Amino acid sequence: MPEHDTYQHLIGLLDACAVDYRLIDHAPEGSTESVSALRGHPATEAAKCIVLRVKLDRKTTRHVLAVVPGDRRVDLDAVRELFSARYVGFSDAATAERLARAVPGTVLPFSFDPDLELVADPEVVAQPRLYFNAARLDRSLTLSGSDYARVAKPRVERIAERTQSPPGH
């Protein structure tokens, strides 16, 4: 699904579900920290979306779209325990792009592929305003965490860990 189709799919879904959302145009940017600054909000209010490869055993692999607050990182050990998996790591770029139907930096906190399981940290769905790139580097979207949870229907589990601040910060 081309980038434009994923964007249109998202907007169609939100409109069909009567979600109150706002579009934000900005300079092209895919880094959570940089795009949060362009949009004018703290990174805690951003949805960081990472496609993971979860090996349950030697023959069974699943893919998970992990959604965590923008100032956090995915706790791979928590995901491994959640799925009773042998191994959890980042998906290769081609697989992530195919399953997420978006290029890196524009991955939505929604899954439009049945082979991509959606798991969101509770802090994501608790946000009064949640921001993310809307399958485009130059356009973002904001909606409430509760609307996100209602429409996306993620599995809500603690999968985020705090990032370490550099010394002196």
Per-residue pLDDT of the chain (169 residues; tens, 9 = 90+): 445 599 999 999 999 999 999 999 999 998 999 999 999 999 999 999 999 999 999 999 999 999 999 999 999 999 999 999 999 999 999 999 999 999 989 999 999 999 999 999 999 999 999 999 999 999 999 999 999 999 999 999 999 997 655 444 4
Q: Which residues partner with 130 through β-bridges? A: 143
pLDDT at 84: 97
Alpha-carbon distance of 169 to 160, in angstroms, equals 21
**150 C-beta neighbours (distance < 10 Å), count:** 13
Structure tokens at 2: 């081309």
Query: What's the pLDDT tens digit per position in 14-63?
Result: 999 999 999 999 999 989 999 999 999 999 999 999 999 999 999 999 99
Which residue has tokens 């399953």? Answer: 99
User: Considering the entire predicted model, what is its pTM?
Assistant: 0.92
> Where are the alpha helices (H) located in 17-75, listed in sequence order?
32-39
Q: Which residues partner with 116 through β-bridges? A: 63
Q: Is 130 in contact with 47 (CB distance < 8 Å)?
A: yes
**22 C-beta neighbours (distance < 10 Å), count:** 10
pLDDT at 104: 87
pLDDT at 167: 47
Say whether 55 sits in a helix, a strand or coil: strand
Half-sphere exposure in the Cβ direction for 103 (13 Å, CA): 10
Q: Which fold has domain 3-161?
A: YbaK protein (3.90.960)
pLDDT at 12: 97
